[in-house]
Amino acid sequence: MTDNILPEIQKTVYLSTTIIKACSECDHGVFDDRHDIADQIHHYLEHGYVLLHVGAETAHNVTGGLWHSTVAVMGFRPSSDDKQPNNKMHRFRR
Ligand SMILES: [Zn+2]
C-alpha cells in the first residue's frame, strides 16, 4: 500500500475470532461462525470498508493459559459515489 488512506477513514471496526458481535452497519445480526473472520471481513468490504490490519492477538484466559485470536481492523472510506455505508445495503441478501 503506497497511498496513505488513513485521512479518508471515517470510522473503524474491530473484528476478532474471540468476540461475538453483530454487524454495526445493518441488521445482519451475529455472524454465524465467529471463527471464520474472513466472512466478517467480506461483509464489511461490501459496506465500503477497507481492511486496515489483520493479525494475531494473544491474551491470557481465566486459567492463565494463552488465548490466541485472529483480529482485523476495518475502516470505512466513502467513495465519491457512496458517502454513506448503508447505500450498499441492497447488495447483500443472505
Ligand atoms: Zn452489515
- How does DSSP assign 1-26, residue by residue? --S--GGG--EEEEEESSS--B-SSS
Say which residue the cell 485472529 belongs to: 70
> What are the start-end ranges of the H helices in the chain?
37-46
Q: Which strands form 11-16's sheet, in the order they lie side by side?
A: 11-16, 66-76, 49-60
pLDDT digits (tens, 9 = 90+) for 3-61: 788 889 999 999 999 888 899 999 988 887 767 899 999 999 999 999 999 999 999 98
Distance 86 CA to ligand 1 centre (A): 8
85 CA to centre of ligand 1 in angstroms: 9
pLDDT tier for residue 92 given thresholds of 50, 70 and 90: low
**Number of other CB atoms surrounding residue 76 within 10 Å:** 19
* Distance (Å) from CA 62 to ligand 1 centroid: 32
Ligand 1 centroid to 57 CA: how many Å?
Answer: 24
What is the Cα–Cα distance from 41 to 81, expressed in whole angstroms?
22
